[in-house]
């Protein structure tokens, strides 16, 4: 059972994993970053506790910790209970959701493992916005995408904002880094996947046409601004587009991914 520990000491060293998230944020790519997985809110904390990521501690107001009592049964970590004011001082901002959990990272499956057990995967290039990455993972979990491969220039899916926006689904959808980029796409093709690059190019096939094709699909998605690089497009087997109204040429990458995932999921079902 989790150990309930009450504290109102802002300087309590036991709370250091939660400290100053607005500046340090524990990102591995920042100086001093520790690379911890941080979950916010009861829904995301529950998903963290049910995942393969080893929890270290929780911090929250009494009501939120109490809501998680069943989930904490058999989880031998401290759950620090404090006031909203103390929590805000420790974290560095007011947290409306009232509870945080931190965990260590878990070993990720390798590329070949994801490819072997998947029918539809997403492959990302240059998706550097953490919130878009989180939204992509949430969409992938909801719409039956089996895994995500990360090409060059992608944000860390386990960064706090990605975890939050994904509603914890980055902890459920397997992912791996795909390198070297883009030549490693040949690995995906060799595993039996058709690589379909999502692009507004007018000479591309429509999503509906792609969904009607048999076999396994790797959907290639590019960065928020310029989209896929020429090298990535050249490495794809086919270019695919979402038909749009006149005068609109593109969608946010997470929105476009959701449309494409739905078409592919519908075809599979």
Cβ atoms 60, 100 nearer than 8 A: yes
**pTM of the full structure:** 0.93
Do 207 and 170 fall within a single domain?
Answer: yes
Q: Which of 103, 120, 154 is the last residue of a domain?
A: 103
Alpha helices in the chain (DSSP H): 42-49, 62-67, 69-72, 84-91, 111-116, 130-142, 160-165, 185-190, 207-211, 230-235, 253-268
Do 52 and 152 fall within a single domain?
Answer: no
Q: Which of 39, 74, 103 is the last residue of a domain?
A: 103
Alpha-carbon distance of 126 to 113, in angstroms, equals 23
Do 98 and 115 fall within a single domain?
Answer: no
The mean pLDDT values, 10 residues at a time, for the chain of 269 residues are 92 94 59 76 97 96 96 95 96 90 93 97 96 97 97 93 96 97 98 95 88 92 91 96 83 94 79
Number of domains making up the chain: 2
Do 83 and 145 fall within a single domain?
Answer: no
- Residue 69 sits in a domain whose CATH number is 3.30.1330.30
On the 0-12 / 13-18 / 19+ scale of CB atoms within 10 A, 250 is middle
- Residue 137 sits in a domain whose CATH number is 3.40.1280.10
Per-residue pLDDT, 21? 85
Do 138 and 243 fall within a single domain?
Answer: yes
What range defines the domain where residue 48 resides?
A: 3-103
Per-residue pLDDT, 144? 94
Alpha-carbon distance of 178 to 165, in angstroms, equals 23
Q: What share of the chain is helix, strand, coil (3-state, %, to 5)?
A: 35, 20, 45
CA distances from 163 to 43, 232, 251 (A): 11, 27, 22
Q: Which of 103, 131, 156 is the last residue of a domain?
A: 103
Q: Decide the pairing of beta strands 205-206 and 175-177.
A: unpaired
Cβ atoms 161, 170 nearer than 8 A: no
Do 88 and 126 fall within a single domain?
Answer: no
Do 251 and 203 fall within a single domain?
Answer: yes
Per-residue pLDDT, 200? 87
| Residue 214, CA atoms < 13 Å, CB-side half-sphere | 0
Per-residue pLDDT, 31? 46
Per-residue pLDDT, 1? 66
Distance of CA 11 to the CA centre of its chain: 32
Do 58 and 152 fall within a single domain?
Answer: no
Per-residue pLDDT, 243? 86
């Amino acid at each position: 059972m989790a150990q309930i520990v009450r504290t109102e000491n802002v300087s309590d060293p036991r709370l250091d994993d939660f400290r100053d998230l607005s500046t340090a944020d524990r990102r591995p790519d920042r100086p001093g970053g520790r690379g911890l997985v941080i979950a916010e809110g009861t829904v995301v904390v529950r998903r963290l506790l049910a995942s393969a990521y080893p929890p270290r501690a929780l911090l929250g107001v009494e009501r939120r910790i109490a809501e998680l009592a069943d989930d904490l049964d058999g989880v031998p970590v401290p759950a620090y209970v404090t006031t909203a004011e103390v929590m805000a001082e420790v974290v560095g901002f007011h947290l409306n959701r009232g509870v945080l959990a931190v965990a260590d990272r878990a070993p990720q499956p390798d590329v070949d493992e994801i490819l072997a057990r998947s029918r539809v995967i997403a492959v990302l290039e240059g998706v550097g916005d953490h919130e878009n990455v989180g939204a992509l993972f949430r969409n992938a979990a909801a719409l039956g995408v089996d895994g995500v491969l990360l090409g060059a220039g992608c944000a860390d899916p386990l960064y706090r904002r990605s975890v939050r926006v994904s509603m914890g689904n980055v902890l459920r959808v397997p992912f791996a880094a795909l390198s070297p980029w883009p030549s490693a796409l040949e690995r995906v093709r060799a595993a039996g996947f058709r690589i379909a690059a999502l692009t507004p190019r007018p000479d591309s096939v429509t999503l509906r046409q792609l969904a009607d094709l048999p076999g396994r699909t790797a959907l290639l998605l590019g960065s928020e601004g310029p989209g896929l690089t020429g090298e990535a497009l050249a490495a794809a087997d086919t270019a695919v587009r979402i038909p749009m109204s006149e005068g609109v040429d593109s969608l946010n990458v997470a929105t476009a991914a959701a449309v494409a995932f739905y078409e592919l999921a519908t075809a599979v079902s």
